[in-house]
Amino acid sequence: MSRRAELLADRIEEGAAALAAFAEGLSEEQWRAPVSGSDTRTVGVVVHHVASMYPVELEVVRAVAGGHAVTDVTWEVVAQINAQHARDYAGVTKEDALALLRRNSHEAAEAVRALTDDELDTAAPFSLSFGAPMTAQFVIEDHPLRHAWHHQARIRRKILPSP
């Protein structure tokens, strides 16, 4: 097993666990609150969104690790996926979202642990980075690893605003 892959996987699990621990302590009112003025998705929908994106993010990681260009993932497509997800899961329960978060983050971490150093170092054109050749490690760090941290920070700003 690659030491780098193990560390990346550990950080994916750490981020998901931190998001889950924070979300568990939210009241129902906080769970149903919009994330921000510009993002009207509820906190619950965003937690579920993070959970539901791990399999998609890992498909992209596997493609890049295999040296295949990723050309069909654009910010417009991401926005459409996010909007549809928000409609489909508007009433998601905390229990369901957290169960999915735990399951999918664990599966994502296991998939990352299976990668070799050569696969982590493989680069391929990546459409979310304007076609620049990005390594599989970069895609892992920028997507399944960062995603839970990013959204937890946004949720915290909403729930625990600065004085």
CATH number of the CATH domain containing 145 = 1.20.120.450
Amino acid at residue number 138: F
What is this structure's pTM?
0.93
User: What pLDDT, on a 0 to 100 scale, did the predictor assign at position 32?
Assistant: 96
**Residue 91 identity:** G
Q: Is 89 exposed, middle or buried (0-12, 13-18, 19+ CB in 10 A)?
A: buried
Average confidence (pLDDT) per 10 residues, the chain, 163 residues? 96 98 96 90 97 97 98 92 95 98 98 98 97 98 97 90 65
Q: Where in the sequence is the domain holding 30, given as residue range(s)?
A: 3-159
- CA quadruple 9, 125, 152, 102: dihedral positive or negative? negative
**How far apart are alpha carbons 143 and 12 in whole angstroms?**
10
pLDDT of res. 37:
83
Number of domains the chain contains: 1
